[in-house]
């Protein structure tokens, strides 16, 4: 395909600027967002590029190339820089080389997309085992399918050819998942500064990443690229950003009782999410306005395999809104490299962050907050006036991933952390697992309900949640910091309250021993615990799995796995 002439490029710029002005003036009033609160809201527009798409005959190399051309044109029209990540086969194609070399380096970044096609594997001197020249199976098309020594050879080939073409080594290398050996090797030898992996998902495309640092970014353990490290000496100092802009309310529960989840993300090809003007307005509003503690992050953009026809509408919805927010200083649009350098400058260890939804879509009354630290994550969900702790996972840098030293043995892969509450895997459609707030009032056990929570950042690494109750006069006050989970009731009269964990029937749980001051568990051969500084664990006789009862109106849990 011929490269566009200077005249046609100029016409694209003029049309794009007219579109920009029109879109900004016509942007919906529903996106009336408060001014930046001093905590950066970072948007990376990341488009990753494959040369071929063997699953669809009509998706030719030219269709894929023209998709990237259109992405470039629209990003230029709205003056939005970003990151393009090249799979090796696309890296070696002269058309992509010319197109991407022509982009201004101060606005655009070129990096690596770490899916491994046939030309790369064979140039590294290895045998190709794939069904096609690009195969998305975990034991063929990803670094997990190769020994650590083979991974180093593959990396060396990619990096040498990238530098030969662009004159430097890439600073950002991302994929749905990259093993920790490869990440550490890329950092130590080639000095990459940023990476990214898939959002949390279960079984989608054969890839499971479940229980990790939910959004923003983290420093991974040297033993497990999916596990946040707790100590500087045990971490690879390359921040891994979570991709795709996951729906904080709905993504988690989608696909309960099935073997894989659907996708509800900012990706522009999904008509009920990133391709919906209503959803995109809502997501960006909550992304900017919701409490994030130190920063919030989302990734826009799309891989070219979906083709321009499928993503065009979503791009036309998202890019003018992102441009408007940038112009109003409400978001920061930058390359992944810039975000990685900023993260490394500001955080020596993984920080505590949150993603908060104060108002759901449409008539839904759901609200949620995801809290992450280097020690644990938790998710609280309000619905129909009630509060459910939907998720708690513990992070431990000593929990190894099998892929660090071994090859994947199937076409699927799985990365996990350590579950304490799992509202997805421990649920069925009619039995949603979680910790629920209960009390005995007038001799009867009731589920506590309340009004809207107020969620605030009260200090470095501290998130405070105040939830006014209905049945009694008083509030549930929750304080989360990087090591502790604190809950107390504040009211004029004492309240006999507690938390009960319920799950669906016939669920295999990790708990090995429940004693008053400690909950011991084991998952995938790893022993772990949470301990009670204030309050007690017990097994109630009402069918619940676990009860956590306060002492003097308080519960304080140590979430550091004994550290």
In terms of DSSP bridges, do strands 434-441 and 386-394 run parallel, antiparallel, or are they unpaired?
Answer: antiparallel
CA atoms within 13 A on the CB side of 70: 21
User: Does domain 37-351 bear CATH number 3.20.20.510?
Assistant: yes
| pLDDT tens track for 277-308 | 999 999 999 999 999 999 999 999 999 999 99
CA atoms within 13 A on the CB side of 223: 14
Residues of the chain with CATH 3.20.20.510: 37-351
Confidence of residue 4 (pLDDT cuts 50, 70, 90): very low
| pLDDT tens track for 89-145 | 999 999 999 999 999 999 999 999 999 999 999 999 999 999 999 999 999 999 999
Q: In the chain, pLDDT over 70 holds for what percent of residues?
A: 93
| pLDDT tens track for 22-31 | 333 333 333 4
Q: What is the mean pLDDT of the chain?
A: 92
| pLDDT tens track for 112-123 | 999 999 999 999
Nearest residue to 561 via CA among 422, 412, 446, 399: 399
| pLDDT tens track for 65-74 | 999 999 999 9
Fold (CATH) for 363-409+417-558: Beta-galactosidase; Chain A, domain 5 (2.70.98)
CA distances from 180 to 26, 116, 208, 226, 229 (A): 46, 16, 16, 8, 12
Residues of the chain with CATH 2.70.98: 363-409+417-558
| pLDDT tens track for 326-380 | 999 999 999 999 999 999 999 999 999 999 999 999 999 999 999 999 999 999 9
pTM of the entire predicted model? 0.91
pLDDT computed for residue 259 by the predictor: 86
Q: Is pLDDT at 501 greater than 80 in this prediction? A: yes
CA distances from 384 to 87, 274, 365, 366, 449 (A): 46, 26, 7, 7, 8
pLDDT computed for residue 13 by the predictor: 36
In degrees, rounded to 5, the angle at the alpha carbon of residue 377 between the alpha carbons of residues 375 and 378 is 140
């Amino acid at each position: 395909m011929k490269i566009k002439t200077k005249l046609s490029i100029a016409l694209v710029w003029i049309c794009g600027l007219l579109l920009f002005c029109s879109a900004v003036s016509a942007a919906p009033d529903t996106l009336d967002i408060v001014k930046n609160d001093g905590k950066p809201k970072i948007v990376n527009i990341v488009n990753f590029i494959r040369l071929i798409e063997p699953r669809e005959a009509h998706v030719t190399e030219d269709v894929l190339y023209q998709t990237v051309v259109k992405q470039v044109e629209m990003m230029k029209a709205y003056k939005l820089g970003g990151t393009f990540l090249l799979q090796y086969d696309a890296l070696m194609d002269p058309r992509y080389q010319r197109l991407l070399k022509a982009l201004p380096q101060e606005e655009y970044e070129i990096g690596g997309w770490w899916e491994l096609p046939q030309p790369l594997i064979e140039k590294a001197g290895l045998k190709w085992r794939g069904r096609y020249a690009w195969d998305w199976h975990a034991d063929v098309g990803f670094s997990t399918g190769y020994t650590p020594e083979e991974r180093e050879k593959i990396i060396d080939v990619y990096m040498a050819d990238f530098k030969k073409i662009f004159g430097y080594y890439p600073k950002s290398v991302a994929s749905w998942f990259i093993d920790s050996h490869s990440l550490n090797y890329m950092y130590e030898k080639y000095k990459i500064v940023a990476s990214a992996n898939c959002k949390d998902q279960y079984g989608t495309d054969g890839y499971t990443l479940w229980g990790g640092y939910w959004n923003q970014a983290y420093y991974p353990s040297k033993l497990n690229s999916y596990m946040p490290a707790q100590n500087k000496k045990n971490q690879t100092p390359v921040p891994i950003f979570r991709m795709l802009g996951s729906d904080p309310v709905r993504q988690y529960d989608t696909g309960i009782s099935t073997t894989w989840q659907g996708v509800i993300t900012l990706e522009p090809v999904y008509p009920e999410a990133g391709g919906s003007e209503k959803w995109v307005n809502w997501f960006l509003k909550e992304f900017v306005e919701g409490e994030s503690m130190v920063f919030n992050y989302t990734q826009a953009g799309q891989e070219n395999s979906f083709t321009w026809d499928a993503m065009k509408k979503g791009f036309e919805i998202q890019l003018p809104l992102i441009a408007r927010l940038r112009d109003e200083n409400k978001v920061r649009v930058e390359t992944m490299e810039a975000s990685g350098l900023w993260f490394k400058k500001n955080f020596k260890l993984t920080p505590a962050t949150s993603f908060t939804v104060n108002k759901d879509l449409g008539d839904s009354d759901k609200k949620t907050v995801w809290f992450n630290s280097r020690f644990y994550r938790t998710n609280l969900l309000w619905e129909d006036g009630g509060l459910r702790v939907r998720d708690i996972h513990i992070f431990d840098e000593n929990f190894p991933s099998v892929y660090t030293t071994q090859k994947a043995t199937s076409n699927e892969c799985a990365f996990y952390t350590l579950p304490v509450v799992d509202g997805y895997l421990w649920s069925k459609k009619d039995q949603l697992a979680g910790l629920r707030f209960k009390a005995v009032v007038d001799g009867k056990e009731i589920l506590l309900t309340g009004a809207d929570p107020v969620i605030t950042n009260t200090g470095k690494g501290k998130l405070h949640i105040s939830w006014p109750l209905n049945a009694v006069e008083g509030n549930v006050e929750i304080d989360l910091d990087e090591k502790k989970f604190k809950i107390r009731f504040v009211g004029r009269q004492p309240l006999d309250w507690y938390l009960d964990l319920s799950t669906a029937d016939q669920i295999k749980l990790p708990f090995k021993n429940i004693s008053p001051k400690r909950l011991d568990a084991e998952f995938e051969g790893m022993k772990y615990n949470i301990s009670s500084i204030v309050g007690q664990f017990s097994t109630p006789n009402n069918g619940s799995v676990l009860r956590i009862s306060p002492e003097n109106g308080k519960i304080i849990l140590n979430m550091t796995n004994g550290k």
